[in-house]
Amino acid sequence: MRRRFSQREGLQTLSEINVTPMLDLCFVLLVIFMITTPLLENSNQLALPSGEGADHPVDAGKVHTLAVDRNEAVTLDGEPVAPGQLTGRLTALHAAAPDVAVVIRAHRDLTVQRLVGVMDSLRAAQIVKVGVVTEQAGGGAVP
């Protein structure tokens, strides 16, 4: 007797894995990471206080930047600094170049006490050329 609907010879195991969907997923993830990575670099945005602009521009290559964000995290030239090490790092800058200039970029919601603490660290390091970056009414940052 012959079977009509069941054919045993037609069944075989699949010996290869289809990698096309896996490659599609990898390329999609690669594109997502390529798009989101540059956005993560600017995640530490500071909302600067407003004020009147200075008369002369500042050469950014000769000035060190001291940034204090809303959470009171301090960075010196983009490198995080522990609160206890700030005065030591500033003293080392002053020892390397006595006429060093520092610009403070403080978030507008930062407490005044924390800003005064940063200014005290600058005074203890004997750095006298200090500026504070503000934002003009039009939105541009002004040293």
Total-model pTM = 0.54
pLDDT of res. 62: 65
pLDDT digits (tens, 9 = 90+) for 25-73: 999 999 998 888 777 655 556 666 666 655 555 556 568 888 888 888 8
Cα dist. 3→7, 8, 9, 12 in Å? 7, 10, 12, 18
**How many domains does the chain divide into?**
2
Q: Say if residue 24 is in the same domain as residue 84.
A: no
E strand or H helix that includes residue 119: helix 112-124
Mean pLDDT of the chain, nearest integer: 77
pLDDT digits (tens, 9 = 90+) for 101-118: 888 888 888 888 888 888
User: At residue 78, what are phi and psi to the nearest 5 degrees?
Assistant: 85, -5
Cα dist. 62→59, 67, 103 in Å? 6, 16, 10
Is residue 49 within 8 Å of 135, Cβ to Cβ?
yes
Would you say residue 129 lies in a domain? Answer: yes
Higher pLDDT, 39 or 79: 79
pLDDT of res. 56: 56
CATH of the domain at 81: 3.30.420.270
pLDDT digits (tens, 9 = 90+) for 6-29: 555 666 676 788 889 999 999 999
Length of the chain: 143
Q: Provide the β-strand partners of residue 79.
A: 76
Q: Say if residue 80 is in the same domain as residue 35.
A: no
The owner of tokens 């600067």 is 48
pLDDT of res. 57: 56
Domain that holds residue 92: 60-142
